[in-house]
Amino acid sequence: MPSGDYLRYVALGDSQTEGLGDGDDSVGLRGFADRFAEHLAAVNPGLRYANLAVRGHTAGQIRAEQLGPALALRPDLATVVAGVNDLLRPRYDAAEAAGHLEEMFAALTGAGAQVVTLTFPDVGKIAPLARPIRSRVFELNDRIRAAAARHGVAVAETGRQAVTTDPRLWTADRLHASPLGHARIAAALAQAVHLPGSDDAWAIPLPPQRVPSRRQAAGAELRWAAAHLGPWLGRRLRGRSSGDGRTAKRPQLLPLDATSDSRGDARAPGDGDLPRDGFRSGGLS
């Protein structure tokens, strides 16, 4: 299929693909998948788009719950982004998480879809308290690259660009991209599939900003731990997830200017949802 000639785009993943950090549950979520769909629709006005992502889901849950519905939609393009919720868990198994990703790569490419994924930035540079798990990120990225190469999957190398650890690309929880971060990810995906008009501008560093003092940085870490890390650990100890009881926000292939609720009922913008460019900025899954 010629690059850019896509009409059926399906997104699989967790909270990042759902769009947390770019809008909120009261006004609607946008996120990199919605933004990537906008890039695609600019080239292919007939594009239809579905987003099956659910926050908090591990790679295994995404394979078990989203792969079948995705294949049933017969996409010609799919994004598969997963693994962060795996590597945050104490009993993390890199081979298992990557294996679920590879199964999705194999099934979707085997069905004729162009698949694109991404690598993850150094979490130790985004949240210093997360430095103990940075080796997990590096290993997962290596496994993603290897699996992608085996199945002809395009990779947006967001894990290798310094700009992706800039705090301005992340929300206060430091796990979800900000609106600017989601926009950069979408542009990286567009470049990865050689979409007409795409380029490497997404990787250009932002203008320098004032570096906080050690005292200010230490205070910021304490506030982050209290506001975000603590509650996240509490949910994990109780065996709960932010995705409990939630379903995909856009389970059907629909034109980009249509939205759907969690039951899959098509609605026009304005029926409780904001239109494509009417989202406001906003949110550890």
Complete DSSP assignment for 8-36? EEEEEESHHHHTTTSEETTTEE-HHHHHH
Q: At 255, is the secondary structure helix, strand, or coil?
A: strand
Per-residue model confidence (pLDDT) at position 91: 87
Residue 56 domain-assigned (yes or no): yes
- The pLDDT score that the predictor gives to residue 229 is 53
State the pLDDT at residue 265. 35
How many domains does one find in the chain?
1
Give the pLDDT confidence score for residue 83 in this predicted structure.
95
Per-residue model confidence (pLDDT) at position 267: 33
pLDDT at 264: 36
Is residue 234, in this structure, part of any structural domain at all? no
Residue 180 lies in a domain: yes
Walk along the chain (285 residues) in steps of 10 and give the mean pLDDT of each run.
78 96 84 97 96 96 98 98 89 95 98 98 82 91 98 97 93 86 98 96 90 63 53 54 75 83 34 29 36
For the record, the structure tokens of 84 come out as 């962060």
Is 215 part of a structural domain of the chain? no
Report residue 189 CA to chain centroid gap: 11
| Alpha carbon separation from 259 to 102, 121, 126, 224 (Å, rounded) | 30, 31, 33, 34
CATH code where residue 88 lies:
3.40.50.1110
What is the reported pLDDT for 221?
59
Does residue 71 lie in a domain region? yes
Q: Is residue 129 part of a domain?
A: yes
CA distance 138 to 133: 9
Q: Which domain holds residue 57?
A: 8-206+246-264
Classify residue 142: in a domain, yes or no. Answer: yes
Other beta carbons less than 10 A from residue 215's beta carbon: 8
What is the pLDDT at residue 266? 35
Does a structural domain hold residue 1?
A: no
The span from the CA of 33 to the CA of 125, in Å, is 24
